[in-house]
Amino acid sequence: MKRYLAYDADGGEHEMFDTIEEAKQWLTEGIEEGVGTEFESGNCFIAKVVLRSSFKITEKKEDYPEGEWPYNSDFDHIGKAQWFHVGSSETQSPSGDAK
C-alpha cells in the first residue's frame, strides 16, 4: 500500500508512492530546466498517509420489500464511515474514536 502523497502545486497534480525517495524524485524531475513559483514558495509537498477510509455497510436496499426502502432511492445501501490507521487493524469511527 502506497504511504506517501506527493503534491505538485505548479502542475496541480498529485501521485501516491511507496517511498519518500520516489516522491521526492517525482517532484524534482526536470528541475534542471527551471523551478516553478509554487515549488519555490514551498507549496509542493510530500505527506505521509496515516489514516485510510473505509465504509461499513449496515443496510442494503435488496433486504427490504419492494418500495419499502426507508432511505433515498438513489442509494442501494447505507452504512458508516470508518478510518484505519495505516499499518494497524484498529478502526476509528467518523468522530475519531477508536473501535
Confidence tier at 90 by pLDDT (50, 70, 90): low
Q: Is there a single domain that holds both residue 43 and residue 55?
A: no
Q: Is there a single domain that holds both residue 44 and residue 55?
A: no
Q: Is there a single domain that holds both residue 57 and residue 82?
A: yes
Q: Which of 14, 31, 48 is the last residue of a domain?
A: 48
Overall domain count for the chain: 2
Residue range of the domain that includes 8: 4-48
Average pLDDT, the chain: 88
Q: Exposed e or buried b for every residue in 23-47, given b needs 16+ CB within 10 A? A: beebbeeeeeeeeeeebeeeebeee
* The pLDDT value given to residue 98: 54
Q: Is there a single domain that holds both residue 56 and residue 81?
A: yes
Question: Is the Cβ–Cβ distance between 66 and 58 less than 8 Å?
Answer: no
Question: What does the pLDDT look like over 23-33, one tens digit per residue?
Answer: 999 999 877 77
